[in-house]
Structure 1
Amino acid sequence: MTPLPADRWDDDVDAALASLLPRRRRNPQGAGNALATMVRHPELTKAFLPYNVHLLFGSTLTPRHREVAILRVAALADSPYEVEHHSGMGRALKMTDEEISDALGGIAADPAEQLILRAVGELHSSSTISDQTWHALSAHLDERQLMDLVFTVGGYMTLAMAFNTFGIEPDRELQPEYER
């Protein structure tokens, strides 16, 4: 699938992107390949993006924990778009290239981050977090953070599946930042 051609961008497309992007980015160039492809189905995009906005901006996970989890999802899903995009977001959070590479590979020096990576792997392989991992994570994350972790993994696995299926190419020219 290719991004929606510029001559087909209309008010429905603009409305679908309004929850995530400022007006200046709601165009084929500013939206990037993923969103410009998703808006081929404005109603689906409009329904999905508020959920994604929560995962990015409203989650109770720390931004670093969020990115560690998403990077591991991206690697497990073999999603070039998500690897590229969230490596950039990790760098914006001051993660080093080594830390990003480690997260992609399921390794972290920090005990809480290592548990998050284990939980991502378990969710990926069996669609559940084991009691042992859940209990260990509970020492580092509260109930809402645990819930946000599960939904972050699920949400980004869904995006990775869509992006891989649609053949969405990474946006190397776009900065991995969002404004609300």
Structure 2
Amino acid sequence: MPNRPSTPRVEPLPKALEEAKEAMRSSAVNAANVAATLAHNEMVSVGVGRFSRQLLFRGSVSPRLREIVILRMGWNCQSVYEFGQHTLFGLDVGLTPPEIYWLTRSVGEHNWAEDEIALLEMVDDLYDDDCVSDATWMKLTHFFSVSEVLEFMAAALQYRLVSGLLNSCGVQRDAGVPGWPEAPKP
């Protein structure tokens, strides 16, 4: 397991934490620690938050496939906070707990659909080399429009950025946010 801070390196700002908790009171999402940590820098907070919200709530791709992409990147980056938050999003858009577990394993270990395999390989390519391989690109453009491929890449790379920020700042999971998934029972 990579080295990750077990306590916050950047403490959430108390006033921002109170405001974030209040704003999220009626929401199924609890990301108060992220909001209050990034509040140390308004430009970063606004920029990261705005683009993340665009991808999550205004995107044109399948929400289920988007969450597969985000969860895989969170796993690759070993960002338990990111993975936990998007486990909740993933469940909400139809991913099952076993599927979420299989996102933490090699692509060939689960019976993913071909379009899902293309997306998982895209995430792995971007994580490993910051470039989608020719073979993966061919698969992606077989299943998706160029516009969709761009959106999937943007989601993967945005959540790589977010994962790095969360890991480096030592952002702790909020109440109700799960950690790493358990293997399905046989």
Q: TM-score, normalized by length of structure 2?
A: 0.78
Relative contact order, higher structure (CA 8 A, sep 6+) = 2
Q: What is the deviation of 1:41?
A: 1.1
Residue deviations 1:61-93 (CA, integer Å, cap 9, x gap): 210111000111011000010111111111112
Contact 1:74 1:82 survives alignment (8 Å):
yes
**Bigger shift: residues 89-98 or 69-78:** 89-98
Q: Which residue in the other structure is 2:57 paired with?
A: 57
Q: Which residue in the other structure is 2:114 paired with?
A: 111
Q: What is the deviation of 1:172?
A: 3.3
* Cα distance in 1 between the residues matched to 2:166 and 2:40: 13
Contact 1:106 1:118 survives alignment (8 Å):
no
**Residue segments in structure 2 that go unaligned for 5+ positions in a row:** 1-9, 179-186
Give the counterpart of 2:150 among 144, 147, 152: 147
SS in structure 2 at match of 1:78: coil
- Return the structure number with greater helix share: 1
Contact 1:118 1:133 survives alignment (8 Å):
yes
Question: Once the two structures are aligned, what percentage of the paired residues are identical?
Answer: 24
SS in structure 1 at match of 2:104: helix
Q: What is the deviation of 1:106?
A: 4.4
Change (3 A) 1:136 1:105: same
Given residue 116 of structure 2, which amino acid in structure 1 is its aligned partner? E
Residue deviations 1:5-46 (CA, integer Å, cap 9, x gap): 12xx4xxxx7xx8xxx9x8339xxx65111111111122212
Change (3 A) 1:118 1:51: same
* Cα distance in 2 between the residues matched to 1:24 and 1:83: 22
* Cα distance in 2 between the residues matched to 1:31 and 1:127: 27
Q: How big is the alpha-carbon RMSD for the aligned residues of Structure 1 and Structure 2?
A: 2.4
* Cα distance in 2 between the residues matched to 1:106 and 1:70: 16
Q: Aligned pair 1:128/2:131, yes or no?
A: yes
Q: How many pairs align? A: 162
Q: Aligned pair 1:71/2:71, yes or no?
A: yes
Q: TM-score, normalized by length of structure 1?
A: 0.81
**Residue segments in structure 1 that go unaligned for 5+ positions in a row:** 176-180
Question: What are the equivalent positions in structure 2 for 1:26-41 lying under 5 Å apart?
Answer: 31-41=31-41
* Cα distance in 2 between the residues matched to 1:24 and 1:130: 41
Q: Which residue in the other structure is 2:182 paired with?
A: none
Q: Which residue in the other structure is 1:178 paired with?
A: none
Give the counterpart of 2:11 among 2, 9, 26: 2
* Cα distance in 2 between the residues matched to 1:31 and 1:67: 16
Q: What is the deviation of 1:148?
A: 0.6
